[in-house]
Chains A and B, each alone.
Chain A
Amino acid sequence: MSLTTRTSDTTAGTALRDADRAARERARRGRGVRSALHAVGLVVILVATLFPFLWMVSTSLKTTSQITAKPPLLVFQGTLEHYRNILGEQYNVGGSLVNSLIVATSATLLAVLLGTPAAYALARFSFKRKDDLWFWFISNRFMSPVVIVLPVYLMASKLRLIGNPALLVAMYLTFSIPIVVWICTDQFRSIPRELDEAAMVDGATPLTIFARVALPLALPGVVVSSILSFIFNWNELLFALFLTRGDGVTAPVRATNFLSGYDVPWGEIMATGTLIVLPVVVFSLLVSRHLVKGLTMGAIK
């Protein structure tokens, strides 16, 4: 009897062990399947994100007949002819890139210069209707450029200012200052007040405290907001489309010029697109770590 019991015990034990092993095996395989799906998902994200960009760059390097080939070519002998064309006098994409650089950089610097003190005041001082003022700053970014491009166009054409890059720089402040204020207000808030107060006890003026104490500590926010502001300025079309002329146009406007004729010069368009996008893409990739941190948009308090 003892023997039978032991036998049945052993059988039960083996069955349990088997069941246990099978469950672990299933879990392992489940994890394996899930992990494989995860990898597939990541590859899909990578391909979907990169494909349009890479397709533009490769098209810019194809000859005209290679671009319209059916089926589309993945492997081809590259050419730089489209780049030579767009940088020549006929298209003058180089000149428009310089215009973009000047306008976007000036507007970014001005937005930081004007926006950071305002953000500091909103973060540090208390005064009446502060929340309304904060909302007013932000709401400038919500405003459609169409609302102001119409009257600005009318006024500027009367004052003969159309085509003046300073006009464009001024208009870009309507969406650059809000983004600087939004990000930097949260950044200044995260700096301990005691640091300001210690400097105040030492007799420093508010301006010195702002410039010497607060601003250096808020540098990550200042950097991120200037990067974002530069990208928005660099990419802007609507203001530039109606407020620039001739040699003064920015690169996005130049890119739209290709669409007027019947014969669409695809190689030239894609080469122009690559030259507009590439500096920003490379720059953004270099600073992506900071960029992602800054994208909390005040989410973490």
Chain B
Amino acid sequence: MHTQSRWTPFAFLTPAVTVLAVVGIYPLIFAAWVSLHTYLLAQPNIPHDLVWLGNYVTVLKDPSFWGAIGRTLTYLLIALPIQVVLGLGIAFMLRRGPWASLRGLARVALVIPLAMTPVVTGLIGRLIFNQEFGVANFLQSRVTGNTVGTEWLGNPTLAFVTILLMEIWQWTPFAALIFLSGLTAVPAEVEEAATLETRSFWVMLRRIQLPFLMPALTAILILRTADILKQFDMVYTLTSGGPGSSTELINLYITRIGLRGAFDQGVASAQAILMLVLTTVLSRLYIRYLYRGDDA
């Protein structure tokens, strides 16, 4: 042990910490400073006066901000459970049984949505759900006989359903693949012993497999929650937040205020800081109660 000094770990950590501090923390401090000032990008002549919490008050009184938060949380609460349940079902279907080559093929196919650029996913959604020639309307007219066609992206509720569908399409495979790797941790002997006691799928799932799947489930919950709260790309190309603001998730709203429409950096920074607080609290809770729960 003679070569390891007290400082060795810091030598390994310093480069990464320094870089992340410069590219992550420094802008964050700057954002906090901007959020306390008047900062209008489009009017550089207006001085950057200190307004204390004025921008935060503006944000908290802004019904559009709460609307965007509400939409984002609704999106999260619908998409995440569906992805988890479907993902778990798919993982079980791919794990064992007959049709080995079909299972292998489906398993490989799951990688495709995962590798898909969210911008492109949104563009594909635009094409498939096009009112005039989209294949979604062709299929629904075949089933329902309604030849007029549904205005998927023109109707507020349906546009929200559409972004949900694309989100579920892209990320359910991710959940399935993580569950699949999680299931490899279940010892075969334990499972075989359990089959002598019960034949019920549910009992097996709850008593035997679920404990082994907890880390996988936690990883999915943490990553998807964080990514949905910062969702931007796919929705930006699919609906750009419209029609009206029916699909304007929180990050689209913040960039609209800060960089695309109002150019009010002060208010946008205050919104971004509030979102950061929300995300940190949520991920802290997840990690505290789930991820490290077993050895805490």
Contacts and interface: CB of A to CB of B under 8 A. Distances in A.
A277 B16 contact: no
A237 B119 contact: yes
A83 B167 CA distance: 28
A52 B162 CA distance: 13
A216 interface: no
A78 B129 CA distance: 23
Contact of B111 (A71, A259, A284): A284
Contacts of A288: 107-108, 111
A144 B230 contact: yes
Contacts of A114: 15-16, 19
A37 to B, nearest CB: 10
Interface residue tally on A, bucketed by range:
35 or more
Interface string B204-230: 000000000001100100110010011
B3 A204 contact: yes
Nearest to B226: A142
A162 to B, nearest CB: 12
Interface stretch (A3-11, A86-94, A133-141): A133-141
Interface in B46-95: 90, 93-94
B188 interface: no
Contact of A147 (B41, B275, B283): B275
B110 A49 contact: yes
A170 B272 contact: no
A259 B237 CA distance: 8
Contacts of A237: 118-119, 232-233, 236
A115 B124 contact: no
Interface in A117-161: 117-118, 120-122, 124-125, 127, 131, 133, 135, 137-155
Interface in A39-57: 39, 41-43, 45-46, 48-50, 52-53, 55-56
Nearest to A147: B272
A152 B22 CA distance: 11
B109 A46 contact: yes
A142 B169 CA distance: 22
Contact of A277 (B116, B230, B251): B116
14 contacts: A35-B98, A45-B109, A55-B124, A121-B12, A150-B269, A151-B31, A173-B23, A210-B12, A251-B117, A269-B127, A292-B177, A296-B215, A299-B215, A299-B216
